[in-house]
Structure 1
Amino acid sequence: MSLDVGALLLQTVPFARGLGITYDFAAEGRAVCRLPDREDLHNHVGGPHAGALFTLAESASGAAMLSALGDQLTRAVPLATTANVEYRKLAMGEVRAEARLLVSREEVVAALDAGERPVFDAVVDVTNGDGVVVAAMTVTWTLRPNRT
């Protein structure tokens, strides 16, 4: 698939662009993104605000989803339906989110082909510069078939 997932998301999601999220990798249902260490993104204890961490993780999950299913955008709209986040440790400095789908591309495409609305999860680990997991998230996605 020739879709530049990072460029697409930065173009269509201005909030991610405003936070300075960078997309390092997106392919085959996996993605890696980074959030810079900026003072304007800090919370009251000097680390990235929980909302910024949430957006980073959700953005990584979307990139993972699009890396596997971006060619389905002509027939379905991707929508995040739920997210569960666990903030485990104080994050300091630049943070990195690594996401992966818990479903195969073939399963999702088969559901679309059968006229169903697929629902599937992506899991994300957010790590600090030392590789310690500071937050974990599960995002549930659906592909809503376009109305004809």
Structure 2
Amino acid sequence: MISQKAKYALRALSALGRAEAGEPLQISDIADRQNIPKKFLEQILLDLKRNGLVTSRRGKQGGYLLLKPANEITYGEVLRLIDGPIAPLPCLSLTAYRRCEDCNGESDCEVRHVFARVADETRAVLFSTTIADALNGHPARIAIEETV
């Protein structure tokens, strides 16, 4: 399950992706449009800014804008940034690999074999679906082979 923070981050990026190019959105506008608590949104936008996804402008016409185009920001990138590793098991993480403490060997672990497929398919969808795809109603379609 993704965290509420990640869900809010994706919704905030969607709001920014819908905005006119070069037109910043104020935190209060994003919070109202996406039903996100304003204080929590401030923290999320700061995280997104520190990681190069959004920028801010000061002043009367200020607010937040996407720093990267919506078609270059993937769901996987945002989830990894906000929630950390995407893998369901620590031994499957690409960014924070850790051997499972109770494992006798990864090559013989039936649980790992099943969840490796889950992790691969999940990453394929998340890292091929952009904010723009979601806004356009075209999330990535990945063909999953039937193995019956």
Using structure 2 for the length normalisation, give the TM-score.
0.31
Using structure 1 for the length normalisation, give the TM-score.
0.31
The structure that is strand-richer by fraction is 1
- Rg larger in structure: 2
